[in-house]
Amino acid sequence: MNTQDLIAIDTHVHAEVSCCQAHDAFGDEFDRAADSYFGSDRRPTIAETVAYYRERKIGFVMFTVDAETQLGRRRIPNEEIAEAAAANPDIMIAFASIDPHKGVMGAREARRLIEDYGVRGFKFHPSVQGFQPYDRFAWPLYEVIAEHGLPAIFHTGHSGIGSGMPRGGGIRLAHSNPMLLEEVAIDFPEMQIVMAHPSWPWQDEALSLCLHKPNIWIDLSGWSPKYFPPQLVQYANTLLRERVLFGSDFPLIEPERWLKDFAAAGFKPEVQPLILKENARRLLGLD
């Protein structure tokens, strides 16, 4: 990836449609609830997403969420995302997602995806995957990620998935309290941990954790910047300016809208290039 040719790097893009396996209709009620919550039912293919980002000269990190244990729904294959990234290295980087309940078998898969498919990081969603980040059954997976010095993105804060469903779809918001990542950050200092999204209703906890643990970052995905809590903008402009990342949450939020609102959200001119691209270059080890 020639980052000099890019205006930004979006560190949070979802794969929504598989082109190599049929749609799994099991759990479609989660999709309908999400459509209602986010006001969008857009679900582009990987190829459509690549074309969208290439046209706009924005690099991106793509992943799925493997929640097969809790939701019982087949994931989009990690290999499909990795192969798309290998075919489009100018614009795309592949992260993998493995359900932590898979234990040692999940760790074996992680090693294979890193060594044979070149994935560059991993995505976790504790609420949707039904685990707490410090659960010891996730340790074998973390050990592989840390061994290879790769980053891991963890969803934090409120989740639109399950919102409005009876019982919230059985999804526990408390699993995505950012403070639950502290034990992981202590035990795996080699693993760079990215807390995804403004972590409402635990924004202050997230900022404290990021200030205290040097291997923790924040991505700004999932919200329009005009709705960011003021303390998040304050710390992004000052003490955390080198550990805050642009992320959109595409296709739920389009980067064009995010970038427009970001320009007017109070971020200092000298900080904006760090958030939009330079911090991601360091995190991802890009030239």
Cβ–Cβ < 8 Å for 61, 93: yes
Give yes or no for a cis peptide into 201 (omega within 30° of 0): yes
Of 35-44, 259-268, 278-287, minimum mean pLDDT range:
35-44
How far is the C-alpha of 271 from the C-alpha of 279, rounded, in Å? Answer: 10
Residue 226: pLDDT band (50, 70, 90) is very high
Residue 62: pLDDT band (50, 70, 90) is very high
Q: What's the CATH number where 177 sits?
A: 3.20.20.140
Number of domains in the chain: 1
Show the domain range for 24. Answer: 3-284
pLDDT computed for residue 32 by the predictor = 83
pLDDT computed for residue 69 by the predictor = 95
Give the side-chain half-sphere CA count within 13 A for 193. 30
Please say if the pLDDT value at position 179 is more than 90: yes
Q: Give pTM, 2 decimals.
A: 0.96
Give 105-125 pLDDT, tens digit per residue: 999 999 999 999 999 999 999
Please say if the pLDDT value at position 21 is more than 90: no
Residue 40: pLDDT band (50, 70, 90) is confident
Give 186-221 pLDDT, tens digit per residue: 999 999 999 999 999 999 999 999 999 999 999 999
**b/e burial code for range 176-213 (CB count within 10 A of at least 16 → b):** bbbebbbebbeebeebbbbbbbbbbebbebbbebbeeb
pLDDT computed for residue 31 by the predictor = 80
Q: What is the mean pLDDT of residues 42-53?
A: 95
SS3 of 28, please?
helix
Q: What is the mean pLDDT of residues 56-79?
A: 96
What is the full DSSP assignment across 124-142? E-HHHHT--TT-GGGHHHH
Give the side-chain half-sphere CA count within 13 A for 64. 22
